[in-house]
């Protein structure tokens, strides 16, 4: 098993395997997002308290869940790079940051849109909102630190350390509604607990969560493949691939 992972960590092996998986992941992402969006936005029943304004949860909740997961995946890549110095892990870290930042920004914007009719304001310095904003700044910090350093190895180590330090923010986001008085409601949907909403609402929500994760992996693999070609441009296998295309 370790030999398989070691082989997969080679840029060429990952490039070849991801090329085979991408069409399937892309198709599944489009299908799940289309089904979940149409079901949730058009056919799911309105919330008994918030009415149709609650339909934005079919975008906000998946984005919020994925924002935290994408940071954890980025931090995992950072740990692998610092411990084993695997080149692909550094590439994965670099490529995850812009996608994670975009997803987190989407979660913040949709949360503000949902908060206006629910709380009467676009933004409050709520514990979960504030910690999610910090998460966005952590993603941006990784991107900015990478761009500010010319030496690739030094930039990889510095961004990896920053990514690992930022992990402390994830439990704050998750448990902030339980630790402090907060306007943000407790989670009504969890991947590990029984939903507190009817099946007509949580099933399309679950489909959207799966679709968001599939979209993330597709975007992540595409960025990793592009970065591999950029870094390995002088290698024989990349030159042969470019010439053959």
Would residue 2 count as lying in a domain? no
φ/ψ (deg, to 5) at 234:
-90, -5
> Which of these, 208, 175, 202, 174, lies nearest to 188 by C-alpha position?
202
Q: What domain range is 164 assigned to?
A: 14-45+54-185+196-244
Scan for tokens 């954890």, then name that residue. 72
Would residue 8 count as lying in a domain? no
Q: Are 129 and 137 in contact (CB under 8 A)?
A: no
Average pLDDT over residues 185-190: 63
Is the model more confident about 132 or about 179?
A: 132
φ/ψ (deg, to 5) at 51:
70, -145
Would residue 9 count as lying in a domain? no
CA distances, 41 to each of 10, 99, 109 (Å): 42, 24, 18
Q: What is the pLDDT of residues 125-136, one digit of tens each?
A: 888 999 999 999
Would residue 107 count as lying in a domain? yes
φ/ψ (deg, to 5) at 68:
-70, -40
Strand locations in 186-230, DSSP E? Answer: none
Structure tokens at 17: 């395997």
DSSP single-letter state for residue 127: H
Would residue 71 count as lying in a domain? yes
Would residue 6 count as lying in a domain? no
Would residue 191 count as lying in a domain? no
Burial class of residue 151, CB neighbours in 10 A (0-12, 13-18, 19+): exposed
pLDDT at 187: 65
Q: What is the pLDDT of residues 73-94, one digit of tens each?
A: 999 999 999 999 999 999 999 9
Question: pLDDT confidence of 197, banded at 50, 70, 90?
Answer: confident
Question: pLDDT confidence of 181, banded at 50, 70, 90?
Answer: low
- What total number of domains does the chain contain? 1
Round the average pLDDT of the chain to a whole number and report it.
91
Would residue 5 count as lying in a domain? no
DSSP single-letter state for residue 235: S
């Amino acid at each position: 098993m370790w030999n398989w992972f070691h082989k997969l960590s080679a840029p060429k092996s990952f490039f070849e395997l991801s090329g085979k998986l991408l069409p399937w992941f892309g198709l599944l992402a489009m299908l799940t997002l289309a089904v979940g969006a149409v079901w949730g936005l058009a056919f799911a029943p309105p919330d008994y308290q918030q009415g149709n304004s609650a339909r934005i949860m079919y975008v906000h909740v998946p984005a919020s869940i994925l924002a935290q997961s994408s940071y954890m995946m980025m931090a995992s890549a950072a740990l692998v790079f610092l411990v084993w110095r695997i080149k692909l892990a550094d590439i994965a870290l670099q490529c995850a940051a812009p996608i994670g930042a975009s997803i987190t920004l989407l979660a913040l914007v949709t949360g503000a849109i949902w908060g206006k009719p629910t709380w009467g304001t676009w933004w409050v310095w709520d514990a979960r909102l504030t910690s999610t904003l910090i998460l966005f700044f952590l993603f941006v910090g990784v991107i900015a630190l990478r761009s500010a350093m010319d030496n690739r190895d030094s930039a990889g180590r510095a961004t990896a350390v920053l990514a690992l330090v930022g992990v402390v923010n994830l439990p704050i986001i998750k448990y902030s509604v339980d630790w402090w008085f907060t306007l943000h409601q407790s989670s009504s949907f969890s991947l590990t607990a029984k939903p507190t909403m009817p099946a007509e609402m949580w099933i399309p929500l679950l489909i959207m969560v799966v679709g968001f994760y599939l979209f993330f992996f597709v975007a992540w693999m595409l960025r990793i493949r592009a970065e591999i070609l950029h870094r390995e441009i002088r290698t024989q296998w990349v030159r042969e691939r470019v010439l053959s295309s």
